[in-house]
Amino acid sequence: MTASKSSRARNARSGAQAAAARNGTAVKSGTAAKAGAGVRTAAGNGGASRNGAATRNGGNGQLRNGAGRGSAARRAGDVPVTPIAPGPALWLQITTFALALAGLGVSIYLTIAHFTESTLAGCSETKGLVNCTKVTTSAQSYVFGIPVAVLGLAFYLFAVVIMSPWAWRAARREIHLLRIASLVVGIGFVLYLLYAELFLIGSICLYCTSVHVITFVLFVLTMLAVAGWGLRPGAAWPQKLTPRRKTSADPVSA
């Protein structure tokens, strides 16, 4: 009995020690697990911090790069610029300017002939329909006491300026309104002179008729410009932006 009790006591102590050993291992394992989890958590937190820092640094870098590209673009003059509007078609600008110069030349010649009382070259002085001297010396050759030749000279001096390509390209509406108004007055004056030549004088002057034709053509071309490009031909012309030049800061496409 005593021996059996002793063996049972030893077995109980052995079991208790084994259980204690197992519990210690479990505790140590749990501690290690928790420690490992802590390390992993810390590592994860560190990684997140590093990622966040990298993200912030990347964002700052992008901002700095964007600012650098913008500065480089401004320095290189890459901002699109709207050019000055060219006005109506080039042929119309050149044609009206050339006609104005031709009218000015004829007006200068008529003015010189009026004050020198010289005969106009190539113009008949017969009693027929064409008689330049009869026209230039008639009472209708003066308007408000001013020679018609001088009025024509003043008109075409203004026409050369207002019909120049620089005036056609102007963006100010007043310049184009002045052109229209001057030609309306000019065509009205031409109609009066034609009436005077045909019904009051009974003769025509070839040089005067050439000035009348030039004025009429200028009037028609100006009205065509108004119909096609409006009252501000220089400002109504389609405008295009200049392409932006590439710089070293631009990203390279794949």
The CATH code of the domain at 90-236 is 1.20.1440.130
Query: By the 8 A CB rule, do 195 and 130 touch?
Result: no
Q: Measured between alpha carbons, how far apart are the two ends of the chain, in Å?
A: 93
Phi-psi category of 138—alpha, beta or left, where left has phi over 0 and alpha has psi -120 to 50? beta
Q: Which two tokens stand for residue 216?
A: 């009429």
- Residue 190: exposure state from Cβ atoms within 10 A (0-12, 13-18, ≥19): buried
| Residue of 220, 91, 107, 240 whose CA lies nearest to 165 | 91
Calpha distance 31→39 (Å, rounded): 12
What is the structure's pLDDT at 86? 58
Phi-psi category of 42—alpha, beta or left, where left has phi over 0 and alpha has psi -120 to 50? alpha
CB neighbours of 193 closer than 8 A, spacing ≥ 6?
Answer: 140, 148, 208, 212
Query: By the 8 A CB rule, do 103 and 96 touch?
Result: no
Which pTM value belongs to this model?
Answer: 0.59
Q: Which two tokens stand for residue 71?
A: 């500065």
What is the structure's pLDDT at 13? 60
Query: By the 8 A CB rule, do 78 and 244 touch?
Result: yes
Residue spans per domain, the chain: 1-81, 90-236
Residue with tokens 């030549």: 197
- φ/ψ of 147, rounded to 5, equals -60, 140
Query: How far, CA to CA in Å, does 27 sit from each of 10, 35, 157?
Result: 25, 12, 112
| Residue of 98, 97, 101, 217 whose CA lies nearest to 167 | 97
Question: How many CA within 13 A on the CB side of residue 183?
Answer: 26
Q: How confident is the prediction along the chain (254 residues), in pLDDT tens digits per residue?
A: 444 545 555 655 655 455 444 554 433 444 433 434 443 443 444 444 444 444 444 444 443 554 445 444 444 444 444 444 456 889 999 999 999 999 999 999 999 999 988 888 888 666 678 888 889 989 999 999 999 999 999 999 999 999 999 999 888 889 999 999 999 999 999 999 999 999 999 999 999 999 999 999 999 999 999 988 877 665 544 444 445 555 565 555 54
